[in-house]
Amino acid sequence: MFKRLKEKWKLSWTSFVLVFSTFAIGGSSCGYLGRKLLTLTGLESGVFYYVLYIVLMCLLWPLCVIIVSIPMGQFGFFRNYLRKMSQTIFGVSSKAPKPQNGSFSVKKRNLALFASGAGSNAQKIIEHFEGHPSIRVSLIVCNKPGAGVLQIAANNDVPVLMIEKKDFEHGNMYVKELSKYEIDFIVLAGFLWKMPEAFLNAFPRHMINIHPSLLPKFGGKGMYGSRVHEAVIAAGEKESGITIHYVNAHYDEGEHLFQATCTVDATDTPDTLASKVHALEHLHFARVIEDVIEGKL
Ligand code: GRF
């Protein structure tokens, strides 16, 4: 039962335990507070007592869990949980298209983010397109259970598609899955598997990747994460940076769209260089995505 709930909520085991504890602590403090407040009314039993008790529980419960979720570090999860709950109860959906000047808004382009790491780029991209008039992040595709990006998806209410290597590499099951979300454009942000033909054919010039070096240097199979920065420092490079490029059938070889540079200082370690490169990614990636989708690049 716990496993099924954990998968439904798309949480790592640590977050799941914290969320579960929040429900438990929030729920019991709500019961305790409710009873304390009822003693002030002087009532001890009877229909009115129970009606009042239920009303108090309904009002106090969301308040208690949201307060407890803050020190538990689970505020994002509970904010979305309560939002969804109120949508179910009151029948309002934040996903429904909103009328504008009497008509419905133009169809948005749907972006799928493929990410299997911490998801700091995914977070920036989601923030950038929040409220955007014509582009929205509609799906996060991930191949790593427990990846940080799954928590980011949950916090931001973005649906997740978990994928398996065998099905990804053979056939077009996941291409079909993406069409259910009407995906127009794919962004790889920390996704390490090579793109199979089915995806390349379905998204020609509609799929881009970010790489943490100045390609063509320090790219290719096995060049990811700190390995890139270690290699840059070992080679005595004076400059590193980021490359945003179209995706083709070979690792990191698609046509370049954008590069930005940073210095590599004598004192840099792979970690300090990684921070400089991440800062460049966070500064430029979302804007470049927007420019590519809008045909400005
Ligand atoms: C980034 O450094 C990106 O260049 C590479 O994967 C990393 C993802 O980082 N392709 P994060 O998960 O977005 O923090």
- Return the pLDDT at 93: 46
- Return the pLDDT at 91: 66
- Return the pLDDT at 40: 85
> 149, 105 in Cβ contact below 8 A?
no
Mean pLDDT over 1-24 rounds to: 80
- Return the pLDDT at 96: 39
Q: How many CA atoms lie within 13 A of 231 on its CB side?
A: 15
pLDDT at 294 over 50: yes
Mean pLDDT over 233-253 rounds to: 98
SS3 202: helix
* Ligand 1 pocket mutation pick from 113, 121, 127, 208 by most atoms within 8 angstroms of CB: 121
Separation of first and last alpha carbons in the chain: 49
Does residue 183 share a domain with residue 58? no
pLDDT at 49 over 90: no
How close is the Cα of 248 to the center of ligand 1, in Å? Answer: 18
Backbone angles phi, psi at 213, to 5 degrees: -155, 175
Q: Does residue 97 sit within a domain?
A: no
Query: What letter does residue 216 receive in the DSSP assignment?
Result: T
How close is the Cα of 87 to the center of ligand 1, in Å? Answer: 34
Catalytic residues: 211
Mean pLDDT of the chain: 90
Among 90, 123, 149, give the residue marking a domain's end: 90
Residue 105's pLDDT band (boundaries 50, 70, 90)? Answer: low
User: For the chain, what is the domain count?
Assistant: 2
- pTM of structure: 0.69
Give me the residues paired with residue 112 across strands. Answer: 139, 186
Q: Between residues 281 and 101, which one has the greater pLDDT?
A: 281
Q: Which amino acid is at 125?
A: I
Does residue 123 share a domain with residue 252? yes
* Ligand 1 pocket mutation pick from 257, 278, 280, 289 by most atoms within 8 angstroms of CB: 278
Domain limits at 51?
2-90
Write the residue with the smallest CA distance to atom 7 of ligand 1. Answer: 190
User: How far is 176 from 181, CA to CA, in rounded Å?
Assistant: 9
Write the residue with the smallest CA distance to atom 8 of ligand 1. Answer: 190
Does residue 272 share a domain with residue 145? yes
> 236, 218 in Cβ contact below 8 A?
no
Q: Between residues 47 and 145, which one has the greater pLDDT?
A: 145
Does residue 117 share a domain with residue 81? no
